[in-house]
């Protein structure tokens, strides 16, 4: 009887839950005891949804976003502007940009950023397929939307060097003071960037 | 495409995780994306452990504790004192008392307390089987270890009325100031109870 659990089955389930990020032993026990009080059918649905997402989900062959089909809903949507590609690190970033409802182009998910410290080089990312799209003249504009970290900037520069020779338009998302933020609390780099990249005053906003 | 997820499989798994207590949509998404990065074998182990605990775990026919077998490890252990029964609300309380390593008797898990507000009456709890144990003269002492709430006190009193006629010794766990706590911060009821139920000074502690 390990850790005072009277059941090996319980012990196993708690240990498995506790492997999840941010879930400790106490929370894991609470979750498992909750599932034991649920109907068996409910727990089967829970288990099946996890099995299904891990076994059946695909990565879009076009943009590498998570998808139920070979080509994701965004890439297969004729309403979207297929000549504008927004390059992001992860599928969470796709969700974040989609959440703004301001973007009608398609995406390209790199799967991370170049980070020698973590052993991630350009070959570990979906950069070849991005270059191929550009080389095939399918793309007019590539928007770089990576993190403003050392790794993000390195990756931006690497991608720029790879695709600039094809004569594609390359932009990055604007950096500046957040909407609703007060100037005096903005950091100098962000404030400086927002002044350098100032835009014409728009009376419609 | 609901909530900006490009995949129904992802959406399902996130919704299922978000049903767990204390897990919101954002945490659920983080957990599912974590599982997508894990090896398939790891995720199969996770899923199997939950399926197994829900489908295969039993409640001890003697004390109603969670168990892999018909009779739990505590009830089937001849080293334990089977003539002393500690009555608790839930299996978590069994774990808590076991964690103290101070108790060598057996348990009886009620499965809750009498709570008319929540529609829980005596018949919803494992009280008949407790009375049966006492009626069969298997038990010398019943220790009541329920919460000190209105519901806990009601349940204590109900059990007392049911089993007292059999002439069994009935005790409750001591209430008092926590070890390490300062007197001035203890609430009056607890401090009052600890004075009324004072015990002989023990030089061995």
Instruction: Give the confidence band of B4 by pLDDT, cuts at 50, 70, 90.
Output: low
pLDDT for A191 beyond 90: no
Beta strands in B37-177 (DSSP E): 58-59, 66-67, 81-88, 105-109, 141-144, 169-172
CA angle B85, B89, B90 (to 5 degrees): 105
| Cβ separation B53–A15 shorter than 8 A | no
* Number of neighbouring beta carbons within 10 Å of residue A191: 16
| Cβ separation A98–B36 shorter than 8 A | no
pLDDT for B49 beyond 60: yes
Domain ranges within chain B, ordered by starting residue: 2-56, 66-173, 175-205
Specify the pLDDT at position B27: 93
Reading the block at residue B132, the tokens are 């049966």
Q: Are B63 and B92 in contact (CB under 8 A)?
A: no
What are the beta bridge partners of residue B170? Answer: B142
Specify the pLDDT at position B180: 81
CATH of B2-56, one of 1.10.8.420, 3.30.930.10, 3.40.640.10, 3.40.228.10: 1.10.8.420
For residues B143 and B108, what is the distance between their CA atoms, to the nearest angstrom? 10
pLDDT for B33 beyond 50: yes
For residues B155 and B153, what is the distance between their CA atoms, to the nearest angstrom? 5
CA dihedral (A108, A111, A117, A122) positive or negative = negative
Q: What is the ipTM of this complex?
A: 0.81
* Lowest-confidence pick of A2-6, B4-8, B72-76: A2-6
| Cβ separation B4–A29 shorter than 8 A | no
How are beta strands B66-67 and A58-59 bridged, if at all? unpaired
Candidate from B9, B45, B92 with C-beta closest to A16: B45
pLDDT for B93 beyond 60: yes
Specify the pLDDT at position A192: 83
For residues B186 and B174, what is the distance between their CA atoms, to the nearest angstrom? 15
Question: Chains A, B: CB contacts under 8 A, how many?
Answer: 159
Q: How far apart are the first and last CA of chain B?
A: 65
What are the beta bridge partners of residue B87? Answer: B108, B144
| Cβ separation B51–A68 shorter than 8 A | no
Specify the pLDDT at position A2: 42
A138 vs B17, higher pLDDT: B17
Helix (H) or strand (E) segment spanning residue A87: strand A81-88
| Cβ separation B73–A1 shorter than 8 A | yes
Partners of A92 on chain B (C-beta within 8 Å) are: 29, 33
Q: Are B106 and B64 in contact (CB under 8 A)?
A: no
* Number of neighbouring beta carbons within 10 Å of residue A91: 26
* Number of neighbouring beta carbons within 10 Å of residue B144: 20
DSSP B38-52: S-HHHHHHHHHHHHH
Specify the pLDDT at position A1: 37
What are the beta bridge partners of residue B16? Answer: none
For residues B165 and B103, what is the distance between their CA atoms, to the nearest angstrom? 26
Question: How confident is the model over A104-124, as a mean pLDDT?
Answer: 93
pLDDT for A148 beyond 90: no
Over residues B99-117, the pLDDT tens digits come to 888 899 999 999 999 999 9
Q: B136's torsion region: left (phi>0), alpha (psi -120 to 50) or beta?
A: alpha
Instruction: Give the confidence band of A175 by pLDDT, cuts at 50, 70, 90.
Output: confident
Chain A residue nearest residue B95, CA to CA: A4
What are the beta bridge partners of residue B88? Answer: B109
Instruction: Give the confidence band of B1 by pLDDT, cuts at 50, 70, 90.
Output: very low
pLDDT for A103 beyond 80: yes
Partners of B15 on chain A (C-beta within 8 Å) are: 49
| Cβ separation A9–B34 shorter than 8 A | no
Question: How confident is the model over A68-73, as a mean pLDDT?
Answer: 92
Partners of B23 on chain A (C-beta within 8 Å) are: 31
For residues A138 and A124, what is the distance between their CA atoms, to the nearest angstrom? 23
Question: Looking at CA atoms only, how far is residue B130 from chain A in angstroms?
Answer: 20
| Cβ separation A66–B21 shorter than 8 A | no
Question: Looking at CA atoms only, how far is residue A54 from chain B in angstroms?
Answer: 6
> Over chain B, what is the mean pLDDT?
90
Helix (H) or strand (E) segment spanning residue A107: strand A105-109
Over residues A123-147, the pLDDT tens digits come to 999 999 999 999 998 899 999 999 8
For residues A90 and A111, what is the distance between their CA atoms, to the nearest angstrom? 5
Partners of A10 on chain B (C-beta within 8 Å) are: 53, 57, 66
The position carrying tokens 């010794």 is: B169
Chain A residue nearest residue B111, CA to CA: A37
Chain B residue nearest residue A70, CA to CA: B7
| Cβ separation B4–A34 shorter than 8 A | no
Chain A residue nearest residue B21, CA to CA: A31
What are B81-84's contacts with CB under 8 Å, separation 24+? Answer: B81/B105, B81/B106, B82/B106, B82/B138, B83/B138, B83/B139, B83/B140, B83/B141, B84/B139, B84/B140, B84/B141, B84/B143
DSSP A26-77: HHHHHHHHHHHHS-HHHHHHHHHHHHHHHHH-EE-TTT--EESSSS-TTTT-
Q: How far apart are the first and last CA of chain A?
A: 65
Residue B103 exposure: Cα atoms within 13 Å on the Cβ side: 23
Specify the pLDDT at position A77: 93
Class of domain A80-173 (CATH, top level): alpha beta
Any idea which fold B66-173 has? Dna Topoisomerase Vi A Subunit; Chain: A, domain 2 (3.40.1360)
The per-residue b/e assignment along A25-54, b for 16 or more CB within 10 angstroms, e otherwise, is eebbbbbbbebbeeeeeebebbbebbbbbb
Question: Looking at CA atoms only, how far is residue B122 from chain A in angstroms?
Answer: 19
């Amino acid at each position: 009887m390990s850790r005072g659990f009277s059941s090996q089955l319980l012990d196993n389930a708690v240990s498995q839950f506790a492997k999840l990020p941010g879930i400790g032993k106490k929370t894991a026990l609470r979750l498992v005891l909750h599932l034991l009080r649920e109907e068996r059918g409910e727990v089967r649905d829970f288990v099946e949804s996890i099995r299904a997402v891990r076994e059946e989900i695909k990565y879009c062959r076009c943009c590498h976003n998570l998808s139920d089909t070979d080509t994701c809903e965004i890439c297969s949507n004729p309403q979207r502007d297929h000549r504008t590609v927004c390059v992001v690190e992860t599928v969470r970033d796709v969700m974040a940009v989609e959440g703004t409802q301001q973007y009608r182009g398609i995406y390209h998910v790199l799967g991370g950023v170049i980070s020698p410290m973590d052993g991630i080089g350009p070959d570990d990312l979906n950069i070849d397929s991005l270059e191929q799209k550009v080389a095939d003249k399918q793309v007019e504009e590539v928007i770089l939307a990576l993190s403003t970290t050392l790794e993000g900037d390195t990756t931006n520069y690497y991608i720029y060097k790879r695709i600039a020779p094809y004569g594609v338009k390359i932009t990055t998302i604007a950096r500046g003071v957040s909407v609703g933020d007060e100037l005096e609390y903005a950091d100098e780099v962000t404030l400086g960037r927002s002044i350098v990249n100032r835009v014409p005053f728009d009376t419609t906003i």
